[in-house]
Amino acid sequence: MEAFGSSIETMGILLAIVSVSLYIDLRGHKHAREETLYGAIKWSAFWILLALGFYGYLWARVSKEWADLYLAGYALEKSLSVDNLMVFMAIFASFGIKGKLQRRILYWGILGALVFRAVFVVIGTGLFLASPWIGFVFAAIVGWSAIKMLGNKDDEAGDEMEDYADHWSIRLTGKLMPIYTKLHLDQFFLKHAEIVENGFSHAVTRKGSVYATPAFLCLMANETSDIAFSFDSVPAVISVTEQPILVYAAMIFAILGLRSLYFVLEALTRYLVHLEAAVIVLLFFVAGKMALQSWNHVIGDTGIHISPQTSVLIVAGTLLLGVIASLLFPSKDQASSPDLPHL
């Protein structure tokens, strides 16, 4: 197979597609409004078709071999990112953040993911020596989040936390930076003048000129989880796809579609009463998978390895069971009004 090289044409096409895609995506998701199931499905289909369109371009202009490598990398990154999607749900549940504010946080989170992926591709696999230890930390966080979701499963769906003073994120960072301990509209930061003017001084961790809000801390938690998961996904895709430009292309298209896929699942949990229980089960699975992978790297190989294909089958099967259970055993409200609202 011929070397792919660094085709100026291919790089230009990729940059053009990414630039236009980002403009369309960020423009279309700029305003913090609640996503509908129909809208999320349309966006998911759009990103998949766009990724396949780039595959067609590579096949026509470069070669089928390199196009197949790109497609393999895209499929692998998409599969590995499903676990990340579950953790996004856990983080939002931990912060008690619902609906439209999730959209705003993911709107900014996508930019950070694109930047970090570019850095990781340039650095290659050398950065990932510490990943097994980070895996233990995130396994604990994901497992704890699943337990919290299990305990709060019967809470009112629309409730948001009023004060985050005792939240783990505030306890962890409150002494390091000035934080306003309540959500304020959809803002990530508040100036000191706003704090004083509105009488918010009682709800800050320490005095400062600018205060971060819990929404910003949630954004950082999502970014950190994405970085942690990239420790596994980036080396895996590099090993399959080999060429940096193809690796980055595969990751870009998978990331652009991840947010829409998240909203498909998030929207379905509002309509399918038992789907949230399936998500909780999957969070325990993700926590166990991360801990197992870290154990195999740090302590000793157990001989047990969960491939991306197996992971996808487990995720899809568990979600399917949640859907079937919701259809067979709907809540009383759903039974009296079976039509899905806001579709």
pTM: 0.75
> CB neighbours of 141 closer than 8 A, spacing ≥ 6?
none
Query: Could you tell me if residue 329 is inside a domain?
Result: yes
The alpha carbon of 24 is separated from its chain's Cα centroid by a whole number of angstroms, namely 19
Residue at 191 is within a domain: no
Where are the strands (E) in the chain, listed by range?
189-191, 210-212
Among 6-20, 43-57, 242-256, 300-314, the minimum mean pLDDT is found in: 6-20
In the prediction, which pLDDT does 90 show? 79
184 domain residue, yes or no:
no
**Distance in angstroms (rounded) separating the CA atoms of residues 296 and 247:** 26
- 343 has a pLDDT exceeding 50: no
Residue 283 lies in a domain: yes
Structure-token pair, residue 288: 């166990």
DSSP string, 143-175: HHHHHHHHHTTTS-TT---S--TTSHHHHHHTT
pLDDT value, residue 308: 67
pLDDT of 341 higher than 50: no
Query: Average of pLDDT values for 189-204?
Result: 78
Quote the CA–CA distance of 293 and 302 in Å, as a whole number.
9
Count of beta carbons in the 10 Å neighbourhood of residue 199: 8
**The predicted structure's pLDDT at residue 156:** 47
Residue 106 has pLDDT above 80, yes or no: yes
Q: What is the pLDDT of residue 158?
A: 42
pLDDT digits (tens, 9 = 90+) for 39-93: 788 888 888 998 899 899 888 887 888 888 888 888 888 877 777 787 888 788 7
Range of the domain at 39: 8-161+213-336
DSSP string, 271-291: H-TTHHHHHHHHHHHHHHHHH
What gap in Å lies between CA 211 and CA 335, rounded to an integer? 46
When divided into structural domains, the chain yields a total of 1
Has residue 3 been placed in a domain?
A: no
Please report, rounded to a whole number, the percentage of residues in the chain having pLDDT higher than 70.
79
Q: Is the residue at 94 inside a domain? A: yes
Domain assignment of residue 208, yes or no? no
